[in-house]
Amino acid sequence: MDDLRILFIGDVIGRPGRDTLAKLLPGLRQRERPDLVLANGENVAGGKGITPETGDDLLSAGVDFLTLGNHAWAKREGYDYLDLESRVVRPLNFPGRPPGKGMGVAATADGREVAVLNLCGRVFLDVNVDCPFRAATRALEELGGRTPFVLVDFHAEATSEKAAFGHYVDGRVSAVVGTHTHVQTADERVLPKGTAFITDVGMTGPVNSVIGVDRDQALQRFLTQLPTRLEVAPPPARLEAVVIDLDDDTGLAKGIRRLREDDV
């Protein structure tokens, strides 16, 4: 078979992000010819969380599989959705038994399987999660070599933690894509043992914003230090993503590159 190509789309922010993804993805599919399209949807519902309607918007627009993050449970109406929708995963390393699952398997049109693992970092994040490094090792042991293709969405704040995690699983997974900061980084590369890596894929959402939210509201919060309602900023919006090419025999990466598409 040919090498496997994955298109991973950065954090989709609210209605502007959903609309931009729906508008631009058909052209990206035609141009890039990905075997699988994934997106992070933890902010797809009003800028925080996911609901059945907003998740289905992304899936019906052509996304094959969704990952989430620390806001996975921000909308209670999404709890049953996380349990029932097999194409959505939330961070594996939250303690207890929260709604949803932390690892899933996506299938390409030609029947190849890609394991998708979602993990949340601990540095600078106001979350109480288990060690993502050890959680990843346990998950890989559970997979037991079922497929050579394993993609990890590492949802974290600190660049150092993301880099450390990439090297920790280098050669054991196909790719580690960082999410959460909504700012696309310019450090995409294949690590020494063959794992594709980028610190942050970026976001799919409003350009004239503060990481997706209304800039005036964000400024008010910074200037006054008072609680301020933060809403998703209006269009125009941009789609940010990475394209990852994987060797069909080993599952390791042959290349990774950034994409940035404006909705004009």
The residues carrying an active-site annotation are: 71
Cα 63–5–166 angle (5° rounding)?
95
> In this structure, how many other beta carbons lie within 10 angstroms of the beta carbon of residue 53?
13
User: Of 238, 261, 60, whose CA–CA distance to 52 is shortest?
Assistant: 60
Give me the residues paired with residue 187 across strands.
Answer: none
What is the rounded CA–CA span in Å between residue 185 and residue 174?
19
Query: How many CB atoms neighbour CB 142 within 10 A?
Result: 10
* Rg, C-alpha atoms of the chain: 17
How many DSSP H helices and E strands does the chain contain? Answer: 6, 14
